[in-house]
C-alpha cells in the first residue's frame, strides 16, 4: 500500500509540474492566444514525460533481463 501512495504522490507532483509548465509556456508564446499556447505547452510537456518514462521502463527491463541471463549462464 505504501508503494501505491508513493506513486500517486509522484503522479500528483508531475501533474502540478505540467500545469506550471503549461502556464509558463502560455506566457512565453504571447503572440498566440493564451489557450492555444497552453495546449501547445502541455503537449510538449507530455512528450517529455512519455519519453522519460519510456526510457526508465526500458532501462529497468534491460537490467532485469540481463540479470536473469547471467544467472542462467552460471548454472548451465
Compute the average pLDDT of residues 20-31. Answer: 84
Compute the average pLDDT of residues 41-55. Answer: 88
> Quick one: cell of 12?
500528483
Q: pLDDT grade, residue 53 (50/70/90)?
A: confident
Q: How many CB atoms are closer than 10 A to CB 54? A: 10
The pLDDT mean for the chain works out to 81
How many Cα neighbours within 13 Å face the side chain of 9?
6
Backbone φ and ψ for 47, nearest 5 degrees, come out as -60, -45
Q: Does residue 40 register a pLDDT over 60?
A: yes
Helical residues (DSSP H) of 1-33, grouped into ranges = 2-28
* Residue 59 pLDDT: 87
Amino acid at each position: 500500500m505504501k508503494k501505491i501512495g508513493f506513486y500517486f504522490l509522484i503522479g500528483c507532483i508531475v501533474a502540478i509540474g505540467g500545469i506550471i509548465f503549461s502556464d509558463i509556456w502560455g506566457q512565453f508564446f504571447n503572440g498566440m492566444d493564451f489557450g492555444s499556447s497552453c495546449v501547445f505547452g502541455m503537449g510538449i510537456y507530455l512528450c517529455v514525460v512519455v519519453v522519460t518514462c519510456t526510457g526508465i521502463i526500458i532501462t529497468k527491463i534491460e537490467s532485469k533481463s540481463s540479470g536473469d541471463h547471467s544467472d542462467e549462464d552460471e548454472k548451465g
